[in-house]
Amino acid sequence: MSENGRRVFVTGTGVVSPLGNITEEFWKNLIAGKSGAGPITRFDASSFTTRFACEVKDFTTEGVIDRKDAKRMDRFVQFAVVASREALQSSGMDVDSEDRDGIGVVLGSGIGGMETFEAQHRVLSERGPERVSPFFIPMMISDMAAGQVSIQFGLRGPNFCTVSACASGAHAIGEALRLIRSGDADVILAGGSEATITPMAVAGFSSARTLSTRNDDPPRASRPFDQERDGFVIGEGAGVIVLESEEHARRRKASLLCELCGYGASGDAFHITAPSADGNGAARAMRRALEDAHMPPEAVQYINAHGTSTPTGDPIEVTAVKTVLGEHARHVMMSSTKSMTGHLLGAAGGLEAVVTALTLARGIVPPTINLEKPDPQCDLDFVPNQARAFPVKGALSNSFGFGGHNVALAMKAAS
């Protein structure tokens, strides 16, 4: 047992993403440097400033969710249930033989059922209040990803949702770590889910001037740390990991992907959308994660960057990394997989925790694609354009959200 309580390991992963709807397909495309961006197909975006996104393709709930149940779930909830099923299956856990009271679900979502909200608002406007669906509220509310995963798989442990914009998924994983350490659960499905490629969401982000407008070349639009970046590319999907106490995992002889050993969180107390210019909030989150993990800065070999491809955010994250790691920052690989997946908002931290766990387990560092003209302010090793084989032993995953929410997760190779 560590000084902080029980050791916690990642034993399973589940993915629904713009690069594939199972982990192996997702990982293959990620390592190949494939972009998930393309023209928006979920609605007519011809009049929008930004007309492209990283959509989930060929998604189906067949064989996973009963058709009647699926119709009563928003898209973000469906993503969560499908990803959670894969995570459980990949962990090799037989839930029927487990104490379900000890298995929890903590899933984040920054926005929740935006698609359902917009659809039911149209019903209200066009057909009146009596025609609004009785399932409107339980389909829309952000906690229902965690709630439905619990219901679908009969998991009766701690169950809740974290909502902290683009830090939601990472907050969920960090809080799950604390629950297992404290003995409140033996196993938790943790991560995030989001489905906000909708007219209102795209219009809102466009009005805030946060989205890329590279409509003529979507695959090259998300370009973190590049001089020509002009905003993020909105994405959708879910990333879920199975977290287990060491005792539980070893008792059932589970395959250990990596150890989740540190969680740091902080607030900027600065601005509703912009990060603090000195990167202090992000730096405090990273430092706290390393302290929680009892990892010296020199133990970090890889950082999965928040790296959204916005003009302001990318160099601030670089500043924060340099603040925490000092000269060692020059020797650390740091890639933004949002260059391929787009920004999954509240699901980003979940999906990127999957990426970090697989990087540790498989010894391959995913690239930052579209890095053609490095920004002089962003002068670290961003693994440009091509994956790199390297036996990573220690890593961080960063997630920062509107409102000044900062989360860093520390992971290390399983031992």
CA end-to-end distance (rounded Å), the chain: 13
Cα Rg of the chain (Å, integer): 20
- Looking up tokens 């809080």, which residue turns up? 175
* CB contact at 8 A, 81 and 148: yes
* CB contact at 8 A, 60 and 22: no
Strand partners, 403: none
Active site residues: 166
* CB contact at 8 A, 343 and 166: yes
CA–CA distances in Å: residue 106 to residues 50, 147, 240, 388, 397: 33, 9, 10, 32, 18
Residues 6+ apart with CB under 8 A from 333: 301, 302, 303, 365, 381, 382, 383, 388, 390, 392
